[in-house]
Structure 1
Amino acid sequence: MVGDEEQERDFQRFLRRVDDIANLVQGLSSTDSAVNAKAIAEAEKRLRDQECSKEEERNTTVNRTIINTRASVRNGFLAMLEKDAKERAKRRKRNEHLANALKEKGNDAFRKGDYVIAIQRYTEGLEKLRDKQELYTNRAQVSVWE
């Protein structure tokens, strides 16, 4: 698979870097002055290259185009989340209003002694708003009277 091949390549690159560093450390600890001098020069070169790489990275992150592109994607996503949350809140408010109206109709039916209709209204209210505890309680109380 493509992902496995890419992981394998990354792993092999990592192992090569480990070998390079191990060889560099070995050269730095060598008693041979020529090998030691070569290792020191290589270490200094790597440090300079790393510093240049960090500088390029800092310059890239300051690049407004990249920052704005990422920000616009992030802001677009956040805007979608906010819109979804507002729609859900509106839908919940509407369902809560409907559930309250059905609860009142169930209460009226209960007062009139029409227990079957009361249970139906409480059940309809629960279909609109499943977490409205008093609808469960009222329906259970009607079941006792029925």
Structure 2
Amino acid sequence: APGPTRITETRVCITFFFIPILANLVQGLNSSDPAVKERTIAEAEKRLHDQETSREEESKTTVNRTVINTRASDVANAKAVNADGFLAILEKDAKERAKQRKRNEHLANALKEKGNDAFRKGDYVVAIQRYTEGLEKLKDKQELYTNRAQVSTWK
């Protein structure tokens, strides 16, 4: 879509270039001298022909740089091998993350129990510390947030 700048450029081009040409053509066609009329018609036809030629040249392909890739199958095979290797690494990483999450979940549960014991004994500062440590191990364990908030109201 043409923007404001493009529209302004078009208006300037029409104002300073085309309007004087059109005015001269109209004046020549309105002349009472048949020779002037003929020259004006010839000039108009020449301008139309030049404009058509210019448009044709703009639309012509000037360079054809078609290149045939003879190694496409090599690249496809390499990508397939890389994809298999990537999937293997991804699977291994997923297993390691699952193990780490289990360990962190176990530690977070142990810290939650220690926090619960401290809360029962009335040691609220230690309870908050244990719940916070548990959250550092497992950030999405809702019970730790809830317990820590409840302890804060008891302080």
TM-score > 0.5 by shorter chain: yes
Using the alignment, how far apart are the partners of 1:92 and 1:81 within structure 2?
A: 16
Counterpart for residue 92 of structure 1: 101
Equivalences for 1:65-80 in 2 at 5 Å? 66-80=75-89
Equivalences for 1:66-145 in 2 at 5 Å? 66-145=75-154
Length, aligned pairs only: 97
Deviation of residue 74 (structure 1)? 0.7
Deviation of residue 140 (structure 1)? 0.6
Gaps in structure 2 of 5+ consecutive residues: 1-58
Aligned-pair identity in percent equals 71
Deviation of residue 60 (structure 1)? 7.0
Using the alignment, how far apart are the partners of 2:142 and 2:101 within structure 1?
A: 15
> Deviations along 1:20-66, whole A, 9 cap, x unmatched?
39xxxxxxxxxxxxxxxxxxxxxxxxxxxx9xx9xx88x976x5x55
- With normalisation by structure 2, the TM-score equals 0.53
Using the alignment, how far apart are the partners of 1:105 and 1:97 within structure 2?
A: 13
> Deviations along 1:47-92, whole A, 9 cap, x unmatched?
xxx9xx9xx88x976x5x5543221111111111111111111111
**Pairing partner for 1:19 from 54, 60, 63:** 60
Counterpart for residue 14 of structure 1: none
Gaps in structure 1 of 5+ consecutive residues: 1-17, 22-49
| 3-state SS in 1 of match to 2:60 | helix
Instruction: For 1:98, give the aligned amino acid.
Output: L
Using the alignment, how far apart are the partners of 2:94 and 2:60 within structure 1?
A: 52
| 3-state SS in 2 of match to 1:20 | coil
Q: Which has the larger radius of gyration?
A: 2
- With normalisation by structure 1, the TM-score equals 0.56
Instruction: For 2:61, give the aligned amino acid.
Output: D
| 3-state SS in 1 of match to 2:61 | helix
Using the alignment, how far apart are the partners of 1:93 and 1:120 within structure 2?
A: 22
Using the alignment, how far apart are the partners of 1:144 and 1:77 within structure 2?
A: 50
RMSD, aligned α-carbons: 2.8
